[in-house]
């Protein structure tokens, strides 16, 4: 059975009720699959014992801060290649024995298939950041 790093991309907040429930859900339903739990970005008060990767929230949109959090997670040596990307509002609602990996092509191929517009432009800019 594989073990995974559960990586949370978080904003800077004092309190985070959603995170508390998300952590409870993974600890209750996939505890055998957890290698470690990592917070990237914010570090809410009261959550101790978790690895924290600092990533200042310097942009004016949550999307840019989130993509930079993903970038920081990918660049740190503290996170293994075997990880599950989480947000504080992601919950695992029932026990599972393993995590199925899905691959639907490269990010570039997915972007190329999108219709022209703002969303495609944003995805292109995120892609450019990630491949630097």
- Of 40, 68, 59, 75, nearest to 128 by C-alpha is 68
**Mean local confidence (pLDDT), 16-42:** 95
> What is the pLDDT, as a whole number, of residue 83?
93
Please write the tens of the pLDDT for every residue from 77-129.
999 989 999 999 999 999 999 988 887 889 999 999 999 999 999 889 888 88
> What is the pLDDT, as a whole number, of residue 14?
79
Q: Following DSSP, what letter does each residue of 24-61 receive, concatenated?
A: HHHHHHSGGGEEEEEEEE---TT--SSEEEE----SSS
């Amino acid at each position: 059975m594989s073990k995974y790093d559960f990586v949370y991309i978080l904003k800077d907040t004092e309190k985070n009720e959603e995170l508390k429930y998300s952590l409870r859900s993974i600890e209750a339903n996939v505890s055998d699959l957890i290698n470690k739990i990592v917070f990237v970005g914010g570090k809410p008060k009261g959550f101790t014992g978790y690895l924290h990767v600092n990533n200042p929230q310097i942009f004016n949109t949550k999307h840019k801060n989130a993509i930079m959090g993903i970038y920081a997670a990918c660049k740190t040596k503290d996170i293994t290649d075997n990880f599950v990307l989480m947000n504080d509002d992601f919950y695992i609602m029932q026990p599972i024995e393993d995590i199925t990996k899905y691959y639907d092509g490269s990010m570039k191929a997915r972007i190329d298939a999108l219709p022209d517009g703002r969303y495609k432009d944003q995805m292109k800019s995120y892609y450019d950041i990630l491949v630097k």
